[in-house]
Amino acid sequence: MTSAALTIHQAVKTYSNGFTALKGVSLIVETGEFFGLLGPNGAGKTTLISAMAGLSRLTSGQIAICGHDVYKEPDISRKLLGVVPQELVFDPFFTVREALRFQSGYFGIRHNDDWIDEIIASLGLSDKANTNTRNLSGGMKRRVMVALALVHKPPVIVLDEPTAGVDVELRQNLWQFITRLNQQGHTIILTTHYLEEAQMLCGRIAMLKHGQIVALDSTRNLLNAEPGLRLQISLDQTLPASLHHCLLQADGHNYQLKLTDYPELSMVLQTLQAAHINIKSLRIMENDLEDVFLRLTSDHAKGVA
């Protein structure tokens, strides 16, 4: 039997100040998955990723990359994993190409220039290949972080907020590139606050809240569990009281309504017409991952501590 790309068993992390950031997280990501690790700020995503990378030790529990325990076999597991960290940290004395060559050397890879050229081109760094990394813009630095994580062609790639502060064009380039790597068999584990990206890319998603997994399912199943519509509507008068039961938000005569289905939408439109209220603008949105996320992870969510 081949091992899963990532196996986390009962991960607990209590920081030295006594704060427990992970409260027993268990998770298996199979080889070849495009997996989303989502959760609000402070949920424990980066803590979990640091433990995967062997950068910080769990208080208890185990983590293995492709069957290799990150603490017992650090050299093997490190080569199997490429992590794009959330924080921008790298040696400011190298050019982009030098940094990539140096990183290759760190992994014991000598002749890596073809792959380095490919990463540089795919991440739109060709113009900056010979620029010193300290002279790059924030978004360019982020691209270099991604490149550094890929230099040893790791079978498992973890991206912690790779698109934070990155412009639209690079985001698209990056996703094309990562999707291609995934199609070639690399396992991708992605953390992002851009939920539409996660919805589009990830086959399965885990949602973390206060150091615990509150949802773990296919993206499809998570969306199916959240049927319904949101209606954004601007009226020339106040919303009739008979529609207050579906009101989510009001700002002047602009309203956001939560509806169960399309028949309820027709009922709303009929009610407005009967009351001689004119619609100035209207937008209908089917529930998306953001609705699922808010239901499961907001501090008002029911049923989870």
Ligand X SMILES: Nc1ncnc2c1ncn2[C@@H]1O[C@H](COP(=O)(O)OP(=O)(O)OP(=O)(O)O)[C@@H](O)[C@H]1O
Q: Which residues bind Mg ion (CB under 5 A)?
A: 45-46, 86
- Binding partner of residue 42 among ligand X, Mg ion, none, CB cut-off 5 to 8 Å per kind: ligand X
- Binding partner of residue 163 among ligand X, Mg ion, none, CB cut-off 5 to 8 Å per kind: none
> Whole-number minimum distance, CB 108 to ligand X, in Å?
30
- Binding partner of residue 47 among ligand X, Mg ion, none, CB cut-off 5 to 8 Å per kind: ligand X
Specify the residue, 17 or 281, whose C-beta has the smaller distance to Mg ion.
Answer: 17
Q: What is the dihedral angle through the alpha carbons of 290, 291, 293, 299, rounded to the nearest 10 degrees?
A: 120
> Whole-number minimum distance, CB 192 to Mg ion, in Å?
10
**Looking at beta carbons, which pairs linking 119-123 to residues 24 or more positions away fall under 8 Å?**
119/147, 119/150, 119/151, 120/96, 120/147, 122/173, 122/177, 123/147, 123/170, 123/173, 123/174, 123/177
Nearest to 206 by CA among 11, 16, 2, 1: 11
Give residues in contact with ligand X (CB under 6 A).
15, 17, 19, 21, 39, 41-47, 86
Specify the residue, 107 or 194, whose C-beta has the smaller distance to ligand X.
Answer: 194
> Whole-number minimum distance, CB 13 to ligand X, in Å?
8
> Whole-number minimum distance, CB 26 to ligand X, in Å?
17
Q: Which pairing describes strands 156-160 and 6-14: parallel, antiparallel, or unpaired?
A: unpaired
What are the strands of the beta sheet with 20-29, ordered from one edge?
20-29, 6-14, 60-65, 68-69
- Binding partner of residue 21 among ligand X, Mg ion, none, CB cut-off 5 to 8 Å per kind: ligand X
Specify the residue, 75 or 87, whose C-beta has the smaller distance to ligand X.
Answer: 87
Specify the residue, 160 or 257, whose C-beta has the smaller distance to Mg ion.
Answer: 160
Query: What residue spans of 137-288 are helical by DSSP H?
Result: 138-150, 168-183, 195-201, 219-224, 262-274
> Whole-number minimum distance, CB 20 to Mg ion, in Å?
16
Specify the residue, 48 or 119, whose C-beta has the smaller distance to Mg ion.
Answer: 48
Cα end-to-end distance, the chain, whole Å: 37
- Binding partner of residue 44 among ligand X, Mg ion, none, CB cut-off 5 to 8 Å per kind: ligand X
Specify the residue, 84 or 257, whose C-beta has the smaller distance to Mg ion.
Answer: 84
Query: In 15-127, where do the E strands start and end?
Result: 20-29, 34-38, 60-65, 68-69, 81-84
